[in-house]
Amino acid sequence: MVEVDESLVGKEFLKLAFEHCIKCGTCKMGYKSFKPSCPSGEKFLFESYWASGRIRTAIGILLEELQWSEELKNSIFACTTCGACMDSCQAPHAHYIVDIIESLRELAVQNIGPGPNQENLVERTNNPEMWNPYGVPNSTNAELKEKYNLPDKAEWVYYIGCTSNYRQTKIRDATIRLLKRAGINFTLIDEHCCTSPMLRTGQISSARDFMNYNIEKIKEVGADKLVTSCAGCYRTFIKDFEKHGANFDFEVYHTVELLKDLLDSGKMKIKSKYNKTITYHDPCHLGRHMGIYEIPREIYKQIPGVKLVEMKRNRNFAWCCGAGGGVKIGYPEWALEVSNERLAHAREVGAEVISSVCPFCRTNLSDANENYNGGFEILDLLEILDTLDIEFK
C-alpha cells in the first residue's frame, strides 16, 4: 500500500512537483511495458493532458507564470485520476501525483469553477433531500433493514455507497444476502455520500461534514468494523478521511477481503459450478490506489467451473474503465470510449464475462457494452456469488 504523508494538503502537494518532475515522459507509458497508460493523454494528445503537463500547469499557477482561465479547465478536469501515471513514474514524487492533480483541482474550483457539469455532483449531494450525487431522494435504508431483518446495533456496518444504493442495486442486494448467509452480525446506517465525488473533482468545502456525519452514524450502532462493496468508498474511508482530519477507530474492509477470510478459514465453501470464461477488470481505486490485486483473483479461482483469463493490461498496468475523477458526468462520451477500449481487451482473450468489484466500473463497462454492442455479461463478483450454492459453517 502506498504510504502518503497525510499532513500535506492543498498547495503543499503541488509544491512537491517543483523539485522532481523533469518531463521525462515516463508517465505516458506503462513502466517497462511501453504501452500507453494515460486515457487522457491518448485522447487529447497535448502535453497538458498528461501528468507531466498537469504538473507543469500546477507549477505555472503557483509561480504566477500562468493565469487562471477557462482554457485551463479541460486539461485539469479531463482526467480519470486512475493513477496509471503514479504507477509508471520513477521520480520521488510518484506516489503523490494524483494528490497533486486533485489539489490543482481544488485551486481551480476556487478560481474558475469546477469541470463541466461537475458542480451538479455537489449541488445534489448537499441537497438535504438527497445527500447523494445522483439526484434521487435519500434512502435511510430503514426499509432494507426491515426487509432483511437487520438489527439496530451490530459488530459490522455494511456501507453500501451511493452507486450501489441508487444505481447498481443488484450489487447491494447480493452483498446483503451473502453477509446474511455467512452469519455476519451487521446492520445498515442512514449513510450519506462518502465524499469521493467531491474530493476527486476538487469540490471539498463540505466534505469534512459528510465524513464526520458518517462516522457518527457508525458509532451510533456500536460497530467496530465496516465493509463496503465499493472500491471508491473503500479508498475514501482509508486514505481521505484521515487526510481531511476525520478520524475514526473502526476497521475498514472491502468485501473481497472479508470473502477471502471466510474462504481461507473454511467458513465458506462454493459448491456449485459457474461454467463461464471470466476476465477480471482491476478497479483503479482498489488496485493502483490501494494495492489490492490478488485477493479478487484468488476468489474467482475458487469458483468451480470458472475459467479465469487475464487481459494483457492487468493489475497495475490495467486500463481504466473511464468513469472516475468526474469524467463520467463531465465527459460522458469520452468515458464510454475509454471503456470500449477495455471491452476490446476482454474480447482479445475470449472472455464471456467481464467482472469487477467496483459498482462504478460495472456502470461504465455496462454502458459501453450496451452502446457499442459489446456482447459481454458485465457482473460484479458478488452478483456471481449470489447465483451459486454456497455452504457456510
DSSP for 301-365, please give it: HTSTT-EEE--SS-GGGPPP-S-TTTHHHHSHHHHHHHHHHHHHHHHHTT-SEEEES-HHHHHHH
Q: How would residue 14 be classed by pLDDT, with cut points 50, 70 and 90?
A: low
Does the pTM surpass 0.85? The reply is yes
Statement: residue 70 has pLDDT above 80: yes
Fold of 119-261: Rossmann fold (3.40.50)
Distance in angstroms (rounded) separating the CA atoms of residues 196 and 274: 34
pLDDT for the residue numbered 12: 61
Instruction: Give percent above pLDDT 90 in the chain.
Output: 86
**For 94-115, what is each residue's pLDDT tens digit?**
888 999 999 999 999 999 999 9
In the chain, the percentage of residues whose pLDDT exceeds 70 is 94
Residue 25: per-residue pLDDT: 85
State yes or no: pLDDT of 335 exceeds 60. yes
Question: What was the pLDDT predicted at 192?
Answer: 98
The CA-based dihedral angle spanning residues 379, 381, 383, 385, taken in that order and rounded to the nearest 10 degrees = 140
Average pLDDT of the chain, as a whole number: 94
What cell was used for 80? 480519470
C-alpha cell at 370: 450496451
Distance in angstroms (rounded) separating the CA atoms of residues 163 and 379: 14
- All three cell numbers of 69, joined, read 482561465
Task: Tell me: pLDDT of 9 over 70.
Answer: no
Q: What pLDDT score does 4 carry?
A: 42
Please give the span between the terminal C-alpha atoms of the chain, in angstroms, as a whole number. 32
Q: How many beta carbons lie within 10 A of that of residue 198, not counting itself?
A: 26
> What sign does the CA torsion over 258, 296, 366, 132 have?
positive
Using an 8 Å Cβ cutoff, are 150 and 338 in contact? Answer: no
pLDDT at 2 over 50: no
Could you tell me if 173 and 383 are in contact, meaning their C-beta atoms sit under 8 angstroms apart?
A: no
Q: Are 90 and 25 in contact (CB under 8 A)?
A: no
Residues 6 or more apart whose Cβ sits within 8 Å of residue 130: 124, 136, 137, 138
User: Which residue ranges does the chain devote to CATH 3.40.50.1860?
Assistant: 119-261
Residue 118, pLDDT above cutoff 60: yes
The pLDDT value recorded for residue 7 is: 45
Q: Considering the domain 271-392 in this protein, what is its CATH number?
A: 3.40.50
5-14, 21-30, 142-151, 182-191, range with the lowest pLDDT: 5-14
